[in-house]
Amino acid sequence: MIHLRIVAPEEVAHRALELLCSSPAVINVVHLHAAAKKPRGDVILCDIAREDASLILADLKELEIPRVGSIAVEHIDTAISDAADEAEKAAEGLPSDAVVWEEIEARTNEETELSFSFVLFMIAAMQIAAIGIVLDSPILIVGAMVVGPEFGPLAALSVALVERRPRLARRSLTALAVGFPLGMLGALATTLVARGIGLDAFADYEVQTHPFTDFISHPDALSLFVAVVAGSAGVMSLTSAKSGALIGVLVSVTTIPAASNIGLAVGYGDLDTAGGAAGQLAINLFGIVLAGVVTLFAQRRYYVSRRRKHLQDPRRQAAGLPLGRSARAEPRKRR
């Protein structure tokens, strides 16, 4: 279930109440008259079956509530109620398959920020990966994959391509274009310093004696296959809010280790290994974004078909919304 807190002027709030009360997928509707002070207005609380959340939110946006008030969306982890069970039965589909598009947009907007912490995590992940490659340690390579924050911008880029949001695409590409080179430079700097002071692990490093991490600089057809499958699974974990599955995705793609290996190999003057790692990085980035776009496109088409069907619902008229069409041409968010 999804919990909404709506703040709106009295007239708009009453229209929203008519909409919410008429929907079988909405329960626990509470109306607090003039309870909000900033902005001033009524407060409405309600719970919605996750499957219909985006449909109801789209109707509320037709009432211009985001412009004159606000809508807050929260998850309900546990709802012990027969009414909640009936609401979920009334909504088409399964809660585990439902996508709350407003939630995806908000999450991807947050994860594309080129922040100090994003850059720091990229550099730290590639430092761990560089040590893992030198020591031929799969454990450190897995650790680097988990620490790396690159999947957020990659997922956001997929969302931007599907929803045609150029500003989000530019922000995602900027984060990736800055984060990866800085991480590589960090790995290069560590390699040069470690070799300069004569650390044994770096002094004895040879590509041929590292069978456990050799795959990083030797991409093949399976590299693309894993990247595509992982990209699709990652997007599905994002849209279904199953963060546990996302951890498995992070430890199956070789973006961070490959990027780190580029810096490491350049530090040793091994351009062949650097080229192989660059190919591995390119294959993984391409595969993840391709799979993300295809997966999101299929999910988006399903939502659009449901939205068109929902526009024919006579219950929309209770809130003064037109039948068969949207009350406004819904602009895409250009964030």
Q: What's the mean pLDDT in 308-316?
A: 88
Report yes or no: 124 and 147 within 8 Å, Cβ to Cβ.
Answer: yes
**Greater model confidence, 225 or 200:** 225
Whether residues 288 and 221 share a domain: the answer is yes
What is the model's pLDDT at position 333? Answer: 44
Share above pLDDT 90 across residues of the chain, in percent, rounded to a whole number: 54
Whether residues 61 and 169 share a domain: the answer is no
Check which CATH number belongs to the domain holding 17 and give it: 3.30.70
Whether residues 116 and 248 share a domain: the answer is yes
- The pairing of beta strand 70-75 with beta strand 26-37: unpaired
Nearest to 253, CA basis, from 281, 291, 272:
281
Read off the DSSP letter of residue 2. E
Nearest to 2, CA basis, from 76, 59, 58:
76
Whether residues 94 and 109 share a domain: the answer is no
Whether residues 283 and 148 share a domain: the answer is yes
pLDDT at position 25 over 60: yes
Give the count of domains, the chain. 2
What is the model's pLDDT at position 251? Answer: 59
Whether residues 48 and 145 share a domain: the answer is no
What is the model's pLDDT at position 331? Answer: 46
Whether residues 72 and 34 share a domain: the answer is yes
Whether residues 282 and 170 share a domain: the answer is yes
What is the model's pLDDT at position 328? Answer: 66
What is the model's pLDDT at position 109? Answer: 79
Q: Which of 78, 98, 118 is the last residue of a domain?
A: 98
Confidence of residue 203 (pLDDT cuts 50, 70, 90): confident
For residues 110, 114, 119, 125, the Cα torsion angle rounded to the nearest 10 degrees is: 40
- Name the pTM for this structure: 0.83
Amino acid at 320: G
What is the model's pLDDT at position 228? Answer: 92
Whether residues 150 and 235 share a domain: the answer is yes
Peptide bond preceding 149 in cis form (omega within 30 of 0): no
Whether residues 144 and 175 share a domain: the answer is yes
> Between the CA of residue 41 and those of 30, 31, 38, 69, 299, what are the distances in Å?
14, 11, 8, 8, 36
Whole-angstrom distance, CA of residue 193 vs CA of residue 101: 47
pLDDT at position 217 over 80: yes
> Between the CA of residue 219 and those of 41, 213, 276, what are the distances in Å?
59, 12, 7
What is the model's pLDDT at position 257? Answer: 94
Q: What's the mean pLDDT in 250-269?
A: 88
Mean of the per-residue pLDDT values of the chain:
88
pLDDT at position 244 over 60: no
pLDDT at position 41 over 80: yes
Confidence of residue 246 (pLDDT cuts 50, 70, 90): low
Report yes or no: 83 and 90 within 8 Å, Cβ to Cβ.
Answer: no
CA angle (45 as vertex; 39, 47 as ends), nearest 5? 140
Structural domain including 135 reads 105-302
**Greater model confidence, 218 or 332:** 218
What does the pLDDT look like over 48-104, one tens digit per residue?
998 899 999 999 999 999 999 999 999 888 888 899 889 888 888 777 778 888 888
pLDDT at position 248 over 80: no
Whether residues 210 and 254 share a domain: the answer is yes
Nearest to 266, CA basis, from 317, 195, 330:
195
What is the model's pLDDT at position 241? Answer: 61
Nearest to 292, CA basis, from 154, 168, 169:
154
Read off the DSSP letter of residue 183. H
Specify if 327 maps to a domain: no
Confidence of residue 170 (pLDDT cuts 50, 70, 90): very high
Report yes or no: 39 and 102 within 8 Å, Cβ to Cβ.
Answer: no
